[in-house]
Amino acid sequence: MSRIGKKPVELPAGVTASVSGQTVEVKGPKGTRTFKATDDVNISVDGNVVTITPRGKSKRARQQWGMSRTMVANLATGVSEGFKKELELSGVGYRAQMQGGTLKLSLGYSHDVNFEVPEGVTVTSPKQTEITVEGIDEQLVGQVAANIREWRKPEPYKGKGIKYKGEYIFRKEGKKK
């Protein structure tokens, strides 16, 4: 039995859900998102509660049960509150700034890195050493943050690079003579 799948998804105030076939559409103050579930689960909406149940006892149906419930919960959270990832730049001369739809990064290379921000995500740089990625799609927000971080992952000796806010970097001791 899926412990996650058993829990019904309660929709926050101002959020509505509708089901047509296997497609769930969730509308809220920040926008509209849809999710198409597999045929292994049943989805029903009762007022402000969305319930997901498996159609059989197969392993795949049980897997899809918990995953589908989590996806619907993420839709509800996205259209009501949104998702946010914060990145920090640490290193001498490492800085970031927004120029229109492009994030300009100075990361110690001989050239600046220009990162084009995809649609559906807003990227801001409140300080030169901070980057904030926000949006209603959790997967897209996380992917954009990971793509930015990929340019300079934090290294273990000096801790320089782009890291998530609150991330712990395991530090190593350097060579000894």
The DSSP symbol for 56 reads S
**For residue 155, pLDDT beyond 80:** yes
CB-CB neighbours of 97 under 10 Å: 14
Give me the mean pLDDT over the 86-112 stretch: 93
For 61-75, the pLDDT digits (tens) are 988 999 999 999 999
The residue among 120, 115, 118 whose CA lies nearest residue 98 is 115
For the domain spanning 83-164, the CATH number is 3.90.930.12
Segments making up each domain of the chain, as ranges: 3-80, 83-164
Q: Residue 3 — very low, low, confident or very high, per pLDDT cuts 50/70/90?
A: confident
Q: Is the pLDDT of residue 157 over 80?
A: yes
18-32 residue pLDDT tens: 999 999 999 999 999
Q: How far apart are CA 51 and CA 41, in angstroms?
A: 10
- Tell me: pLDDT of 1 over 70: no
In one-letter notation, the amino acid at residue 28 is G
Give 5's pLDDT tier (boundaries 50, 70, 90): confident
Is the model's pLDDT at 2 over the cut of 80?
no
Which DSSP letter does residue 58 get? S
CA–CA distance, 128 with 117 (Å, rounded to integer): 17
Say whether 83-164 and 3-80 share the same fold.
yes
Give, as one character, the DSSP assignment of residue 15: -
pTM above 0.75, yes or no: yes
Q: How confident is the model at residue 122 (pLDDT cuts 50, 70, 90)?
A: very high
What class is the 3-80 domain?
A: alpha beta
Helix axes 59-80, 138-149, angle to 10 degrees: 80
- What lies within 8 Å, CB to CB, of 161 at 6+ separation is 89, 90, 91, 94, 152, 153, 154, 155
Beta strands in 29-160 (DSSP E): 31-36, 41-46, 49-54, 83-90, 95-99, 102-106, 113-116, 121-124, 130-135
Query: Among the residues of 27-91, which ranges form H helices?
Result: 59-80
Q: Mean pLDDT throughout 112-119?
A: 94
Q: Average pLDDT for residues 127-147, to the nearest whole number?
A: 95
The three-class DSSP label of residue 117 is coil
